[in-house]
Amino acid sequence: MKLVVGLGNPGSGYAQTRHNVGWLVVDEVARRAGATWRKEGKDAEVTEVRLGPGAGEKVLLVKPLTFMNASGRAVAPLMSFYKLEGTDLLVAQDDLDSPFGLLKVRMGGRHGGQNGVRDIIRLLGHEAFARLKIGISRPPAGWAVPDWVLSRWRDEEKNDLAELVRLGANAVDVWAVSGLAEAQGQFNGTDLRPPPPPKAAPASVPSAGTAPVSAPGGAGHTGGHVENPEEG
């Protein structure tokens, strides 16, 4: 059995905030499987799905109801009850240190300031579990981190967000069925950001003793449109 935890905050007011992208991923996994969420005690919603061919791999999806900073309170008892190891756990989380559009799967490591992961590490007593990290970027100038992670997605981000959630759900499937290395191999190259504009060619420098050719009538340019690499 595997445990996949989507980090987020409960309540409709948080549903479409950046901090709740982990919930969006596990909701998508459950939707595909036609699974229904149920309350598990007071600290979590859970649902069980089968992933993969045939009978599939049994996976318990978890949404902590404790608010982000106390996520470990929902996760640790389930790990203990089902007698699971760290290698059986995947946590889907938002990641401030990755640009929006980037998705990666990693094993272990520190919490990186993500308070839900911090609390899970604290209550499990170790860092040895997998994370599905979905970039939300650092806050723009003038934004405090708490305000940024609790802000809603902008309209222009929603298409890429839907694709990241779809790919995140695919990564959960691959991790559960084929393991960490396969999930990393398939998804760690995911980057939905537009490619940077090509660098402009350096201006040619007239050779010594050669006067530059002036435009007719002393005009500063030829009168044609000057391309701006930032336009369009």
Enumerate the active-site residues.
19
The full DSSP string for 7-52 is: ----SGGGTTBGGGHHHHHHHHHHHHHT---EEETTTEEEEEEEES
Token pair in block for residue 23: 């919930």
Token pair in block for residue 30: 């459950």
Residues ≥6 apart with Cβ < 8 Å to 1: 58, 59, 60, 82, 84, 88
Residue 130 phi, psi dihedral angles, 5° rounding: -85, 150
CA angle 139, 142, 145 (to 5 degrees): 40
Residue 202 phi, psi dihedral angles, 5° rounding: -60, 145
